[in-house]
Amino acid sequence: MVAIIDYDAGNIRSVEKAMAALGEEAVVTRDEKAILSADHVILPGVGAFGDAMGKLHKYHLKGIIEETVAQGTPFLGICLGLQLLFEGSEESDGVEGLGILQGKIVRLPEDQGLKIPHIGWNSLRYPNAGRLFEGVQEDSYVYFVHSYYLQAKDSGIVTATTEYASLIHASVEKENVFACQFHPEKSSDVGMRILKNFLGIHRL
């Protein structure tokens, strides 16, 4: 069973639909027992970093997420869900993120003549091998919607990058924690393969 964490963020239903398309039982929940007993856990989301962290605290989800990761459950952050896993964001000064991974979330530069937010399809490069991308050719296209991006402190956890006004750390992997800045659930066959790869990863 897959637990999709419900913290009143957008984009949750599209992830639920993607799980159904893959034949996977999924529950949208903020229930502690359901999350901790799940085989896989997904933290999706679109919206503002500070608001999202406020809701994670409101629903007492921060500790549940930390416990889920600590017990080795495969955990996937998507879009805002990736950003929340890190220490903080320029979008919300003074708001601490989950701090499960180290790095900073910064605004896409506006001096490159490119539209912000970045909305559209970009190709991926793989600086390090990542289990999410097994069977997914390099230069495959995935769908992005974001104004802020990750600069991971440890380049060794970066499994995919793309270029848009800057070098974007588009996906990371560390032990049982995975995250994508792009939306695999909106990335056609490539995205479904990425999600299927995630579902094939077992608890540590």
A 10 A CB-CB count for 55 gives 17
Of 118, 146, 169, 183, catalytic: 183
Distance CA 99, CA 49 (A): 13
Of 16, 40, 79, 173, catalytic: 79
User: In the annotation, is 175 catalytic?
Assistant: no
CA 131 to chain centre: 14
Collapse the DSSP code of 90 into the 3-class scheme (helix H, G, I; strand E, B; otherwise coil) and give the result.
Answer: coil
Q: Provide the b/e sequence for 57-72 (b: ≥16 CB within 10 Å).
A: eebebbebbeebbeee
User: In the annotation, is 185 catalytic?
Assistant: yes
Structure tokens at 1: 């069973």
- Can you tell me which residue has the tokens 């296209």? 141
Which residues does the annotation mark as catalytic? 79, 183, 185
